[in-house]
Every structure is written in structure tokens, then in C-alpha cells.
Amino acid sequence: MLQARQNLMRFKHLCSVSYRNYQVAITGAGSEIGQTISLLLRTNPSISKLVLHDTLQYTPGVVLDLSHIPSKSKVKGYVGEDTLDEALQGSNLVIAAGGIPQHSDNVNRSILSKNADFIKEVASSVSLVSPLPFFGIVTEPINTLVPLAAEAMRNQASHDPNKLFGITGVDALQAQTLYARESALIQSECIVPVIGGHSRETMVPLFSQATPRSKLTEEKSQELTAILRNATPERSESHSPTLSVAYAVSIFVNSVLEALNGETVQVNALVENNDFGTSFFSGLVDVGPKGVSEMRTYTDLYHHECVLLESSIKQLHKDVDVGKKIMELV
């Protein structure tokens, strides 16, 4: 009887999902990561309309390619800077995935300038949408570009700090993988919080808080932290983690659409938060229909995690200031 009741509840949940009616827009959709995100979202049952925008001239080909995938949702494409405002109208969620890919934390001025221009343009267009949609940023460097987006939207007098996110889920996925491998656990059943920021110098994986608990020592967790921050193939000079980042974005989108449907969910994101000595901070945050409500906090950290967190906050403060100063020069 209990199993039958659970199956009925699950069936009702699936039915309710299929009747949702949300519009999601991907800017920079013609990029490698933009295309991958679009593919993952094409058959999402909560999305009734998927909008792709880019300045790249082959974007219509991407849209045509996606249209061959059977789905109840509509897919529509826009090309050119002058179509961005139109493309975003009616969106419940906008994902910024364009710009130049970052293969390391050493971002040169040219890359930062071009990616900053992209985010400024998208943020300004998002500000024109009413009601204001949720806005998730994938473009690197997130530590700098999310604060920049916040300032750009404030300049338009249309900014809700609870609806702006830097999508950092890939950090938690990588920490989860390392922890499961080292602890001989099933990867999908592990959770490792990652807080601070989204870079080698600012991300702090909390193996002390990992679940399920294992016999991992503090010394070993410190080794894993060094691997995650400095030596993973995913963060090498020659490779950008397109697939895992896109997967993390799809998880973020699913969660936000659940939140818009009235549920309280948790997402890994860099958001506006003044609790740690800097105006932005990354971690696991509760999200509801109106956006961010609170960020999860932790106690009984390992000593090395406390040390890393202190240095992370100092660097994150610098990264945030860079984004704000870029807007001051506009």
C-alpha cells in the first residue's frame, strides 16, 4: 500500500512537471558550451520555449539542428546585437554562456575586456525584461563578472540581488568525484560542499562536511583540496571543462524551474552575500519563487579549511572590486 501511494505521488509529480510553461533563454548559444547547454535543455519538460541568441552567423544552423530533436517545446533563434532585447522578452530564466573560454585563472586583459563587454550587454538587456527573470552567469571569470552584472543592472535601476547567480556547480561536482573515488563510495550518493569563490585561489572544498561520512583523514582531505585547486585535468591550460560545466548548468536550470513552480531548492552559486566580509560569496543557497533566501553555513571545519577560507575571502574581495571598477569606467 505504501509503495503504491509513493508511485501515485511520483506519477502526479511527473504530470505536473509536463504542464509547466517556462521560457529559458541562452545568450552566447552558438559557443561550444552554449550549444551543449542548449542540447541538454532541449527536451526539458518544464521548458515550453527555448530561446537561443548569439552574434555568430551560424546560430540559425544550431537552432535548425536542435529542432530535429523531438520535443514538445519550441526552439527559436536570434542573431545579432540588435536582436538581444527582443530575444529575452518573456523569459523566466536567462543564462549567459558566451564570451571567450577561460583555460586557466590567469585571465589576460583582452579576455576580461571582451567577456566583460558581453556580460554588460546581456545584463542591460535582462534589466529591460518585466517581470525581471532569474539570471545565471557561466562566463568566466565568474568572481568578477557577476559583481559587474549587478552594477550594470543597478545602473538600469532594475536589479534584484536575489535573482542573480554565478553558476558554480561544477566545483561541487569535481569535489564530489574526488571524494567518492578516494573513499570508495558511489559518486552520485556523495555531497561535498564548496564555498568561497569560483577560482583556484578562492574555492574551498569542505571535505570535513562531506556525506556520507568516510574514514578520510584531515591530512588526506588536504591533499584532495590541493588536487582540486591546482592539479585537476579539468582546470589545465589546454582544456576547458565544457561538458561538466554544461551539465552543472542543466542541474541549475532544473532547480530554478522547480523554485519558480513554488518549491524551495538548493543550488551551488556565487550570489550577493555580506556575511563573510565580501559582498559576494559562493556556496549552497536556498532558492524559492522570489530567488535566493539564505546560504547554508557550516561549523567544525578542518584547520586547513579555515586557513584557506580566510585567504579565499581576501582574494575574492579583490576579484569583486575588479568587476565593480570596470563599471565605474563606463
Positions marked active-site = 198
Distances (CA, A) of 12 to 46, 55, 168, 263, 299: 14, 41, 31, 15, 38
> What is the β-pairing status of strands 164-167 and 134-137?
parallel
Nearest by Cα to 77 from 123, 111, 28:
28
Between CA 318 and CA 322, with CA 321 as vertex, the angle to 5 degrees is: 90
Nearest by Cα to 234 from 173, 316, 322:
173
Per the listing, cell 537552432 goes with 63
> Around Cβ 197, how many Cβ atoms within 10 Å?
31
Nearest by Cα to 130 from 156, 98, 96:
156
Which residues are bridge partners to 211 per DSSP?
191
Whether the CB-CB separation of 164 and 323 falls below 8 Å is answered with no
Q: State how far the Cα of 214 lies from the Cα of 207, in Å rounded to an integer.
A: 10
Residue ranges of E strands in 213-277: 265-272
In degrees and rounded to multiples of 5, residue 299 shows phi and psi of -130, 170
Q: State how far the Cα of 188 lies from the Cα of 29, in Å rounded to an integer.
A: 29
Nearest by Cα to 104 from 226, 244, 242, 237:
237
Nearest by Cα to 310 from 171, 148, 197, 191:
197
